[in-house]
């Protein structure tokens, strides 16, 4: 009988309750009662149940489909659930996922006629807990050959202790690690060196908006944004090769809804005593809010706080995004009579005029164009895209005409004008084009012309 994960199972022939009773009866009948049976204080079945309930160990009978069909004893009370409540559960729900292979290997030894070795495995403290605490137990398995049990497995489960009866320091340390792991306020994940999730805590599940069960079916690569895969793999390889002892990167995990979650993932490697890589341990910090704040600060640094248009830094960033051989038209706009408004009506009215002018410039340009306030009463428009010279001239004329429209502010009517200069050329010469356009606008202001164009 093979108990590998892919093996064919013989289903239990009775319900969970009936299977438990059958197991108890078979155990009683298969036990050899020494002495005088007529002097026993109770039926052998009842005696067996009483002995098991008083046992410091826990006894499990596991059917061929890995379902617990009988349970007795309570292993020194280290489990929150009573032993009998485990009946009907599968071993995958009781034992740590990474220990199932150890248990099945021990069972395979029984199939080959060998004695099953004692193995140390982790058993769930409470099957109802949302944050499982895993406790170490030593388990010895044997085969029950009674006809009613069909070759089921008898598992003797004992709390792992040293010979002096004290908790093994390694076991205690592992239990402490599990508590810290599960209760950590930031996401934590234990993975194989191939990246398969072995253990994840609640914070990690909450961060990705998924369940522990779902994550344990996946790998780190399957939950990493495609644009961050190469960096993640390269850092992990360097860790495996011993080039680094840990790494910390900002990367995006992908939630089940497909949305990216920005995190800072710090990973170290756990090795055996001989240096063999065993697992990756990763702490995952949610930095979505911090990145949003940084982005908001970055954007605000590129914007004029009064008008909301780009400032000089924002204008430079936009120009840097253009292809060098792309043709652009640079329109420089210098307001006329704005100083009179400030001197006679005050700076608060002047600020409102600037905001209205900025709105009118926005309404005059196309979506692919970029407007900026580059000085007190100076504005620049960068016209991108494939256009003719006449298109650039029309754009500058439209801006000037809209700026000249009367502005109503707090019962007063204010009129300002604008002088415009235009320069056209490749984006690689944008800095020179801005100087030429600016010079042209000053010439227009001095001459009174609406537009001065420089080729």
What's the chain's average pLDDT? 80
Q: What is the pLDDT of residue 160?
A: 65
Final residue before a domain boundary, out of 260, 291, 322: 291
If one counts the domains in the chain, the total is: 3
The answer on 79 and 121 residing in a single domain is: yes
Between these two residues, 132 and 423, which has the higher pLDDT value? 423
State how far the Cα of 237 lies from the Cα of 243, in Å rounded to an integer. 9
Closest CA to 9 of 96, 86, 99, 104: 104
Tell which phi-psi region holds residue 113, choosing left (phi > 0), alpha (psi between -120 and 50) or beta: left
The answer on 338 and 265 residing in a single domain is: no
CATH number at 334 reads: 3.30.70.270
The answer on 146 and 38 residing in a single domain is: yes
DSSP 121: E
The answer on 355 and 273 residing in a single domain is: no
Final residue before a domain boundary, out of 291, 310, 341: 291
Closest CA to 306 of 402, 364, 375, 404: 375
CATH number at 137 reads: 3.30.450.20
Q: What is the pLDDT of residue 205?
A: 94
Q: Which of 20-24, 318-322, 445-449 has the lowest mean pLDDT?
A: 20-24
Q: What is the pLDDT of residue 132?
A: 56
Catalytic residues: 377
What is the rounded average pLDDT of the residues 306-320? Answer: 90
Residue 81 counted as domain residue: yes
Final residue before a domain boundary, out of 117, 140, 172: 172
pLDDT > 70? residue 441: yes
The answer on 311 and 447 residing in a single domain is: yes
Residue 3 counted as domain residue: no
pLDDT > 50? residue 25: no
The answer on 387 and 316 residing in a single domain is: yes
pLDDT > 70? residue 2: no
DSSP string, 192-228: ETT-BEEEE-HHHHHHHT--HHHHTTSBTGGGB-GGG
State how far the Cα of 152 lies from the Cα of 139, in Å rounded to an integer. 15
CB 123 within 8 A of CB 79: yes
Residue 2 counted as domain residue: no
Q: Binning pLDDT at 50, 70 and 90, where does residue 135 land?
A: low
Q: Binning pLDDT at 50, 70 and 90, where does residue 227 land?
A: very high
Alpha carbon of residue 314 to chain centroid? 32
The answer on 189 and 168 residing in a single domain is: no
Q: Domain of 105? A: 16-172
3-state secondary structure 379-424: EEEEECCCCCHHHHHHHHHHHHHHHCCCEEECCEEECCEEEEEEEE
The answer on 197 and 127 residing in a single domain is: no
Predicted structure pTM score: 0.44
The answer on 20 and 164 residing in a single domain is: yes
Residue 8 counted as domain residue: no
Residues in contact with 293: Cβ distance below 8 Å, sequence separation at least 6, in sequence order: none
Between these two residues, 418 and 4, which has the higher pLDDT value? 418
The answer on 278 and 196 residing in a single domain is: yes
- Do the strands 378-383 and 370-373 form a parallel or antiparallel pair, or are they unpaired? antiparallel
The answer on 71 and 144 residing in a single domain is: yes
Residue 233 counted as domain residue: yes
SS3 251: strand
Q: What is the pLDDT of residue 116?
A: 66
The answer on 166 and 21 residing in a single domain is: yes
Residue 42 counted as domain residue: yes
Residue 141 counted as domain residue: yes
Residue 297 counted as domain residue: no
Q: Binning pLDDT at 50, 70 and 90, where does residue 66 land?
A: confident
């Amino acid at each position: 009988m093979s108990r590998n994960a892919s093996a064919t199972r013989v289903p239990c022939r009775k319900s969970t309750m009936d299977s438990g009773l059958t197991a108890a009866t078979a155990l009683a009948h298969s036990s050899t009662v020494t002495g005088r049976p007529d002097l026993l204080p109770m039926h052998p079945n009842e005696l067996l149940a009483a002995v098991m309930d008083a046992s410091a160990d826990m006894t499990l009978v596991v059917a061929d489909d890995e379902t617990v069909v009988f349970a007795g004893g309570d292993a020194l009370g280290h489990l929150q659930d009573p032993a009998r409540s485990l009946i009907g559960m599968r071993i995958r729900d009781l034992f740590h996922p990474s220990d199932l292979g150890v248990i099945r290997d021990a069972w395979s030894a029984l199939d080959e006629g060998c004695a099953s070795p004692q193995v140390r495995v982790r058993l769930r403290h409470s099957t109802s807990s949302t944050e499982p605490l895993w406790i170490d137990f030593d388990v010895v398995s044997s085969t029950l050959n009674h006809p009613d049990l069909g070759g089921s497995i008898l598992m003797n489960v004992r709390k792992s202790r040293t010979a002096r009866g004290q908790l093994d320091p390694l076991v205690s340390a592992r239990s402490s690690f599990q508590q810290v792991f599960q209760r950590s306020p930031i996401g934590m994940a234990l993975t194989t060196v191939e990246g398969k999730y072995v253990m994840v805590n609640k914070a990690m599940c909450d961060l990705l908006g998924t369940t522990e069960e779902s994550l344990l079916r996946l790998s780190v690569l399957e939950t990493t944004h495609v644009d961050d895969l190469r960096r993640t793999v390269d850092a992990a390889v360097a860790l495996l090769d011993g080039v680094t002892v840990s790494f910390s990167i900002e990367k995006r995990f992908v939630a089940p809804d497909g949305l990216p979650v920005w995190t800072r993932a710090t990973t170290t490697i756990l090795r055996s005593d001989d240096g063999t890589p065993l697992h990756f341990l990763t702490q995952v910090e949610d930095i979505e809010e911090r990145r949003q704040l940084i982005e908001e600060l970055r954007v605000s640094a590129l914007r004029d706080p009064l008008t909301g248009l780009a400032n000089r830094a924002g204008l430079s960033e936009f120009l840097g995004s253009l292809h060098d051989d792309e043709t652009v038209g640079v329109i420089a706009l210098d307001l006329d009579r704005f100083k009179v408004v400030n001197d006679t009506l005050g700076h608060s009215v002047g600020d409102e005029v600037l905001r209205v002018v900025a709105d009118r410039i926005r309404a005059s340009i196309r979506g692919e164009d970029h407007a900026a306030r580059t000085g007190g009463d100076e504005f620049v428009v960068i016209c991108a895209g494939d256009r003719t010279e006449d298109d650039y001239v029309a754009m500058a004329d439209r801006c000037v005409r809209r700026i000249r429209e009367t502005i109503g502010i707090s019962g007063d009517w204010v009129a300002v004008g604008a002088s415009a200069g235009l320069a056209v050329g490749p984006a690689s010469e944008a800095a020179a084009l801005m100087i030429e356009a600016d010079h042209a606008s000053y010439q227009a202001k001095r001459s009174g012309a609406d537009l001065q164009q420089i080729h």
